[in-house]
Chains A and B, each alone.
Chain A
Amino acid sequence: MHTLARRIIGAVPVIIGISFLIFLLMHIAPGDPVSLLLGDNATPEDIARTRNEWGLDRPLMVQYWEFLSRAVRGDFGRSLKFNEPVMKLVWERLPATLELAFSSLFVAILIAVPLGVYSAIRHNSLLDHAGMSVALVGVSLPNFWLGIMLIYFLGGQLNLLPVAGRIEYGVEVRSITRLYLVDSLITGNFMAFWSALKHLLMPAVTLGSALAAIVTRISRSSVLEVMRQDYVTTARAKGLSETAVIWRHILRNALITIVTILGLQLGALLSGSVVTETVFSYPGIGDLLIQSISARDYKLTQVLILMFAVTYFVVNLLIDLLYSVIDPRIRL
């Protein structure tokens, strides 16, 4: 646990660096946010007063210090567009994004790991080549285009799935975790579950497709690598069944690489959610980020970007912890 503590302490300067970078970006940006927000009719006095109210007339480092000290207390100020506390907006939208990200992850794992593993085991077979070709197509498909095409075919032409939102209008879910799928299951509200699932399906497939393609390729190469190891030959030589060799020896060792890639790709999922949520008008923090950028709500934009970055960083830290569970030789 000593190394774990060191990793967490080591994360602090990186997170401070990230926040400073975002803060700096905001201040080197052309155009004064106050003038932009108040519009052309604002007098210089109005602008000066608002700048003073927001503390924008103070030295950069003072402003940054104040931002940091308030951030530590969880106070990120009020959104200029929505006129509500930034954190309230974030907490309202975050469950939707998490539900989308984890569903996409689930879709990707469900397709990619069996396909990748099977391709490796049947190396150079027709299925292997077909699987790898599909993976190449998946990596090359822009996911927002896939989303639009799904909307057109499944939503528009076949009218099978809803094309926007998170749940049908009028369907209520009792809020517990604010993850609609989980809450509707807990409360036994299957109509709400079905509605939420239908709304989630296309966004999750859209967001998960590129990840599925990457994970298929990584799973295949990782399993191929492990299959060449001496201990696999030994396991076979001592008479273990092929299923036991695959499950106990090959998969367990190949999982390390797969989990690493999944962890690294979770960041891509989070940022990809910005595009997917825009395509499906899905009310998550990605959609909120684009709204805040369009409205030049720099306070909200700054916090949302910081949140994405910190989440990505924390996920990677958790992935490191997961290593020691998968491979007991790795001690943190």
Chain B
Amino acid sequence: MLSVRYLKLWVGGAILLLLFVCGVGAPFLAPHDPQAQTLEDRLRPPRWADNGSRAYFLGTDNLGRDMLSRIIYGSRISLMVGTATVLFAGFVGCTLGALAGYFGKTTDEIVSKISEIFLAFPFLLIAIAIMAFLGQGLLNLIMALMLSRWVQYCRVVRGEVLSLKERDFVTAAKALGGKDFYVLFRHVVPNTFASVTVIATFGMAIVIITEASLSFLGLGVPAHIATWGSMLSEGRSYINRAPWLTIFPGIAIFITVFGINLLGDGLRDIFDPKLRRQR
């Protein structure tokens, strides 16, 4: 079972690494400009199909833009939105959760009430609502996703801090004269990182799917930027004539999310004390 556990980590990690390489190295990896339109080559099928062209490995879209280049560039948005959301939501959620758990009383009550309101919305709906009112845009999208995800971190960290603050090492740190904020952020919070890493990994997968869903609905980044979700939305009208317009972006989302979930599974197996005992 040990090898399977590490296999998940390796495969998931490799897929995530591939996403990073594609995202960061897009200008060097993409064979064409993702916005360049060649109308005489519009709706060209993938290279291996009849009438496919050597120049366009995954074919072209309705405006003659290269699908492979757009998919490579699309990974940038997924990567950027995924990473930024996880970092911001993690920071806000962990900070509020830690403060609520450690100080309790009024702080806890205020944070818990706010969390309860956010928990009363399904997170996709929060994102839809915010994007509906704020309009399309990368920053708006990150903010919408961050606002819909912070509460997950907050709940977990609050719960862990509630238990950790009663432990001997915290009493010892306080006895040595450590101030509350020092003890909280130097000794208590670092002990929650294992759980936070697992939530962050699964959270990134959810964020990537949510971003694609919002872009598909026309509520993500502006239409001229290539994203996997908007490619799916545009390709939908050509589903019977040019199925590759929807098949490839979908596969890109699926492989990315599958890889991240695999990584999350692997990390959870390693960090979960119950499973560790079984080893």
Contact = CB atoms under 8 A, between A and B. Distances in A.
Interface of A: 13-15, 17-18, 21-22, 25-26, 28-31, 136-137, 139-142, 144-145, 148-149, 151-152, 156, 267-268, 270-272, 274-275, 278-279, 289-290, 293-294, 298, 301, 305, 308-309, 312-313
A268 B124 contact: yes
A273 to B, nearest CB: 10
B277 to A, nearest CB: 13
A141 B117 contact: no
Contacts of A14: 113, 116-117, 120
Given A145-B232, A312-B120, A156 B125 contact: no
A232 B130 CA distance: 48
B21 to A, nearest CB: 20
A105 to B, nearest CB: 14
Interface string B233-255: 00010011001001101100110
Contacts of A31: 135
Contacts of B217: 274-275, 278, 290
Given A31-B135, A136-B258, A274 B120 contact: no
B132 interface: yes
8 contacts: A25-B134, A142-B209, A145-B246, A145-B250, A268-B122, A298-B133, A309-B125, A312-B122
A29 B134 contact: yes
B117 A25 contact: no
Nearest to B265: A136
A138 to B, nearest CB: 10
Given A142-B253, A271-B124, A29 B133 contact: yes
Residue of A26, A271, A301 with most chain B CB atoms under a 10 A cut-off: A271
Contacts of A22: 129
B159 interface: no
Contact of A148 (B122, B213, B232, B261): B232
Given A141-B254, A274-B217, A148 B246 contact: yes
Contact of A301 (B117, B132, B247, B249): B132
B124 A137 contact: no
A65 B135 CA distance: 26
A145 B125 CA distance: 19
Contacts of A293: 128, 132, 219
B253 A145 contact: yes
A273 B113 CA distance: 28
B125 A148 contact: no
Contact of B254 (A145, A289, A301): A145
B125 A308 contact: yes
Contacts of A290: 217-218
